[in-house]
Structure 1
Amino acid sequence: MQRQGSGGNAAVVVRVIGSVLLVAHLLLVAWGGLLPRDVAWVTAPNTVPLAGLRADLALGPAEAARLIAEGLLLLAPLGVLLPMCEGRLDVSGWGSLIRTTAAGALVSLALELLQTAVPGQVVDVDSVLLNTLGVALAHVLVVPVARRRMRRRQASREGRPQGRVVTGNERAQGRTPRIPRVPIAR
């Protein structure tokens, strides 16, 4: 049985590729983030929002930019990979953004909580904020453009006007036939 709004073989390929890349990325992030560190001392956990960012900015612009970019880029691929795993083209842009950002925040929070059991790793609430912002930015910058392109490509293959979005029911049942108007005889 075909899932409603699936889009055929291309959607299946996108889902499979997205799922494989998502698992690979999460394994890489878990391996890097949960690796024990050999340090002589450990800083105190940062539970005050934006306090760590202020401390990063005090280190100078180059070091602050590097640390902030690391926080933004760590989970940013989730902003693209999670919608790829869903593989649907006809979803609400806002709904997709909210779901993806919430999932990114939960993954980041889980990573931070797991780090409490790893020697040398400390909890940093700013990491959760930066990781979540990175997921949202990646989603906003890539997903709407990619979906628009894929919709255009699908519309050209199906021979429909390009400005029209097809719903899942319409794709499953086919288009309603249109009867041309006939003038009234006098």
Structure 2
Amino acid sequence: MQRQGSIGGSAAFRIRVTGGVLLVAHLAFVAWLMLRPLDVPWVMPANLRPLAGIRADLALGWPEAARRIGEGLALLAPLGVLLPMTQGRLNVSPLGSLIRTATAGALLSLGIALLQTGVPGRVVDIDSLLLNTTGVALAHVAVVPAGRSWLRRRGLRRPGPQEEASQGRTPTIPRVGIAP
């Protein structure tokens, strides 16, 4: 039984499996990258003031600021595409899909930040949470609506009424009254 608006047939299965495999691989890479201990002589204090770290990055100058902000945006950005891909649904509200994906990205970023508190050399940075969530949302807006539209045009969709009608008429059961 298919959910309403999901991709039909084996194409849906291939897309979901591919999305799931890529999602697990990306999350494993992010975990390896962000949760391994750093060997540093000293650690900066945690940044709990929103946009303070971004302002400090911008004060460093254009190339360094662009690199640091770009890294924050790009770290979880693939989730903006991979999370909807694992669902395999084509006919959904674009705003609802964006909100679900951005929320999942924010929660994953928060989970990483909380896990980093126990890793030597790592500190919590609220700006990384903001940049990661923004990266997920931007990737989602840039790719997912166009991808869904392309898949709908290719015909990878749920069978319509005329295709379901070709299977024959649904049998009806005559109503039976209540016995006296």
Considering the TM-score relative to the shorter chain, is it more than 0.5?
Answer: yes
Aligned pair 1:174/2:164, yes or no? yes
Q: 2:102–2:136: 8 Å Cα contact kept in structure 1? A: yes
- Pick closer, same or farther for the CA change 1:55–1:171 going to 2, 3 Å: farther
Equivalent residue of 2:155, what SS?
A: helix
Q: 1:83-102 maps to which residues of 2 (within 5 A)?
A: 83-102=84-103
Alpha-carbon separation, structure 1, partners of 2:36 and 2:80: 24
1:5 Cα offset (Å): 3.4
Moved over 4 A (4+): 168-173
Q: Residues 1-186 of structure 1: matches in 2 within 5 Å? A: 1-6=1-6, 7-154=8-155, 170=160, 174=164
The alpha carbon displacement at 1:9 in A equals 1.1
Aligned partners of 2:165, 2:67: CA distance in 1, in Å?
52
State the alpha-carbon separation in 1 of the partners of residues 39 and 137 from structure 2: 33
Quick one: distance in 2 between partners of 1:110 and 1:173?
A: 45
TM-superposed CA distance for 1:170, in Å, is 4.6
Change (3 A) 1:171 1:45: farther
Deviation digits for residues 46-87 of structure 1, max 9, x if unmatched? 000000001101111110000000000000000000000000
* Equivalent pair of 1:45/1:122 in contact (CA under 8 Å): yes
Between the aligned partners of 2:162 and 2:113, the Cα distance in structure 1 is 43
Q: For the residues of structure 1 that align with 2:41 and 2:20, how far apart are their CA atoms?
A: 39
CA–CA distance in structure 2, aligned partners of residues 115 and 52 of structure 1: 17
Find the aligned partners of 1:143 and 1:26 in 2 and give their Cα distance.
Answer: 19
* Distance in structure 1 (CA, Å) of the matches to 2:107 and 2:47: 18
CA displacement at 1:8 relative to structure 2: 1.4
CA gap of 1:134–1:94, structure 2 versus 1, over 3 A, is same
**Coordinate RMSD, CA, aligned:** 2.0
Q: Which amino acid aligns with 2:164?
A: G
Structure 2 segments unaligned to the other structure (5+ residues): 167-180
Counterpart Cα distance in 2 of 1:9 and 1:94: 27
Aligned partners of 1:172 and 1:51: how far apart in 2? 58
Unaligned residue ranges in structure 1 (runs of 5+): 156-165, 177-186
Equivalenced residues, count? 165
The separation in 2 between residues aligned to 1:67 and 1:172, in whole angstroms, is: 54
SS in 2 for 1:174: helix
1:4–1:172 contact (8 Å) kept in structure 2? no
Q: Residues 175 and 136 from structure 1, CA distance in 2 versus in 1: closer, same or farther, beyond 3 angstroms? A: farther
CA distance in structure 2 between the aligned counterparts of 1:120 and 1:171, rounded to whole angstroms: 59
Q: Render the CA deviation track for 1:11-31: whole Å, top value 9, x for unaligned.
A: 110000000000000000001
